[in-house]
Structure 1
């Protein structure tokens, strides 16, 4: 899992493409993750996604879920970034 900072308010999440993955769910939250955390999600067929409109100087937690055709889910590690 890689999170690259872009222009102010923008970041890109990337994971290695998984052979059996048919979709990816790119997610972020502004609170430390717990079992009750509500994640903001954007679905994609690509293993990368760019989020824009994020608040500068705020800490964000990011993760990606790879989803196979049969519904199996693989979660990336969570990465913390402060947005520029």
Structure 2
């Protein structure tokens, strides 16, 4: 799975949402045993947040100077929250539960491994020459290669399989003994080496 991280999206929040998010983070970190000491401290963050809140109220008059001051205080709050986020990430060291406890928004959990479906609709037909059979199956989404395996009848747990690998979901198996019955199966292989195996089917060469 990918390493979780704090989302860097504070700049996208409007003033009211930014203030709310900052307070949520402060509340979440206050008394949080995972973060006994933070740099910047929660007292510093609280002070900067209060300065922004006060400037936000003052800017409601529409005065351009007060609006400029509010924008400056907003930048200061975002900056100190980013610094705090870096400290939180360092302490959490990739632990999603600890990151979530901080109150910051965290990237969604993603799996680096895609589940592969089992190869289906396996078909075997005569090849162009004696001792050849053509094998194909439905393409498997996410598969980077296919392993076509075959063994002589009778099929048993201790059967020895011969393998041929290709990037396509079809293959011509050559060098078989004419008149002999063979069992064939297909293994789909994903980008992270995950594997699924089809049910075996049989045919005479």
Report the TM-score when normalising by structure 1.
Answer: 0.90
Q: How big is the shift at 1:32?
A: 2.8
Runs of 4+, deviation exceeding 4 Å: none
Judging by fraction of residues, say which structure has more strand: 1
Matched, 1:45 2:183: no
After superposition, the CA RMSD in angstroms is 1.1
Q: Deviations over 1:18-58 (max 9, x none)?
A: 11100100010013333322100000001111011211110
Considering fraction of residues, name the structure with more helix: 2
Higher relative CO (CA 8 A, sep ≥ 6), structure 1 or 2?
1
For structure 1, the 5+ residue unaligned runs are none
What stretches of structure 2 of length at least 5 have no aligned partner? Answer: 1-121
Q: Highest Rg: 1 or 2?
A: 2
Aligned pairs for 1:52-71 (under 5 A) are 52-71=174-193
Shift of 1:70: 1.2
- TM-score where L is the length of structure 2: 0.39
Question: What is the rounded CA distance, in whole Å, between the counterparts of 2:198 and 2:125 in structure 1?
Answer: 15
Partner residue in 2 for 1:3: 124
Aligned to 1:33: 155
